[in-house]
Amino acid sequence: MNLDFSPQEEAFRREVRAFIARALPADIRARVRAGRPVGKDDTVRWQKILFARGWIAPGWPRAHGGAAWSPTERYLFDCETVAGDAPFVNPFGLDRVAPVLIRYGTPEQQRQFLPRILDSSDWWCQGYSEPGAGSDLAALATRAVADGDGYRVSGQKTWTSFAHCADWMFCLARTSVEARPQDGISFLLVDMRAPGVTVRPIEILDGLPHVSEVYLDDVRVPAAHRVGAEGRGWECAKYLLGFERIQIAEVPQSKRLLATLKRIAARERPGAGPLARDARFADRVARVEIDLLAHEVTVLRALAEFAAGRAPGPRASMLKLVGAEIRQRLTDLIVAALGSASLRYEPALVEAPGEAGEAAAQVAHWLYSRASSIYGGSNEIQRNILAKAVLGL
């Protein structure tokens, strides 16, 4: 496969690189470069800069305010924003629910929600996983009972990223128990400020509340906030998951981790020289770099299929699975390269100045990366999908 990009694509890459160098606020760049968390306020500040440039929604059609970029342009944009130390945008509005609304939503839903996603007025979270239905979403128990011109929704969602600062949640809820499990699910838009919504943050391994539990206690959801036909939410969910699993292949992020690894391994060590000169360690770095290159080629193939109007199919599961494993291997090597500096960790140290803060930030990434083989559908589930769809088992 030819990995060379066209002259037009390379010109686009240079344009993006120059824009990020010019427009990204220095204080945000410094936080990202140091590996420190970027809060909602700074993320929104960057999103508004992208919005003003017309680049906040790369994959949206122009009719809805998007840039209508090709999948390759979007990939190059992601690579340059990560390489330029820009923060991640909140994907749940822009890259998850918005494509669903554009494809399945009514004109009224599009007019109500899409502009406020574009200008960052509304933040979204994803209400999929439950205590008894994580990767097996068809087993979800949250119920939406018909009530006049709407529903009463009760249940519990968990591992919900950004729920503590979200305005809206797109949610899967069971509207029927009569049909097969996938046919009784509806796709609902839930106002997080509605009576009956309770959010309880969860501290994960790094001691930070990235995710939350969301309790829904008889929450009123108008029928106008159901996307698609009743009981047909599984179709919306599968469409959304195809986008999610390609994006969480995380090639640009893994490239940045690889650069961080090489930078740390090149440092002088007292009485030992740089770890990068150790043959065994260099071999491990070379192996993961080769695997990352092969992973990138596979991602580009999937993007080419998207551009041709074909769904990636089971390849999306492979991208998610391999991407998670590469990220974990890279963070393992970074912690190993830090040596004794990685042994002391507590969340407050992430904000410490100098090498102590940098080491703590990298350990935090290592701890968080343990979840990468779980979120977006666990790697075990992805292997099951591949076994059935590819091997016919």
Q: Token digits for 17?
A: 């690189």
What was the pLDDT predicted at 2? Answer: 46
Cα-trace Rg, the chain: 22
- What is the torsion angle, in degrees rounded to the nearest 10, for the CA atoms of residue 279, residue 281, residue 286 and residue 291? 150
Range scoring the smallest mean pLDDT among 90-99, 140-149, 233-242, 303-312: 303-312
Measuring CA to CA, how many Å separate 284 from each of 141, 146, 185, 252, 327? 44, 56, 45, 20, 14
What was the pLDDT predicted at 1? Answer: 41
Catalytic residues: 244
CA distance 93 to 86: 18
State the pTM of this model.
Answer: 0.89
- CATH among 1.20.1560.10, 1.20.140.10, 3.40.50.1010, 2.60.40.1120 for 248-389: 1.20.140.10
What was the pLDDT predicted at 245? Answer: 55
What was the pLDDT predicted at 153? Answer: 98
- Provide the 10 A C-beta neighbour count for residue 233: 29
What was the pLDDT predicted at 246? Answer: 60
DSSP string of 267-287? S--TTT--GGG-HHHHHHHHH
Cβ–Cβ < 8 Å for 99, 243: yes
CA distance 159 to 157: 7
Amino acid at 27: D
Q: What is the architecture of the domain spanning 7-89?
A: Orthogonal Bundle (1.10)
Determine the average pLDDT of the residues in 230-257: 81
CA distance 144 to 160: 19
What was the pLDDT predicted at 55? Answer: 97
Q: How many alpha carbons fall within 13 Å on the CB side of residue 28?
A: 25
CA distance 389 to 238: 15
Q: How many alpha carbons fall within 13 Å on the CB side of residue 378?
A: 12
Q: By percentage, how much of the chain surpasses pLDDT 70?
A: 96
Q: Give tens-digit pLDDT for 33-88.
A: 888 889 999 999 999 999 999 999 998 999 999 999 988 899 899 999 999 999 98
Residue 311, helix vs strand vs coil: coil
Q: Token digits for 185?
A: 């699910």
Cβ–Cβ < 8 Å for 144, 175: yes
Query: Percentage helix, strand, coil, to 5, in the chain?
Result: 55, 15, 30
What was the pLDDT predicted at 243? Answer: 61
Per DSSP, 306 falls in state H
Whether the per-residue pLDDT at 180 is higher than 90: the answer is no
What was the pLDDT predicted at 244? Answer: 60
CA distance 278 to 272: 10
What was the pLDDT predicted at 4? Answer: 75
Cβ–Cβ < 8 Å for 160, 169: yes
Cβ–Cβ < 8 Å for 212, 166: no
Pick from 223, 289, 285: nearest CA to 255: 289
Cβ–Cβ < 8 Å for 75, 53: no
Determine the average pLDDT of the residues in 212-231: 97
Per DSSP, 213 falls in state E
C-alpha angle 36-248-383 in degrees, rounded to nearest 5? 130
What was the pLDDT predicted at 334? Answer: 96
Computed over every residue of the chain, the mean pLDDT equals 91
CA distance 145 to 149: 11
What angle, rounded to 10 degrees, do the helices at 71-83 and 7-23 form? Answer: 40
What was the pLDDT predicted at 36? Answer: 86
CATH 3.20.20.70 fits 124-232, yes or no: no
Show me where the domains of the chain are located: 7-89, 124-232, 248-389
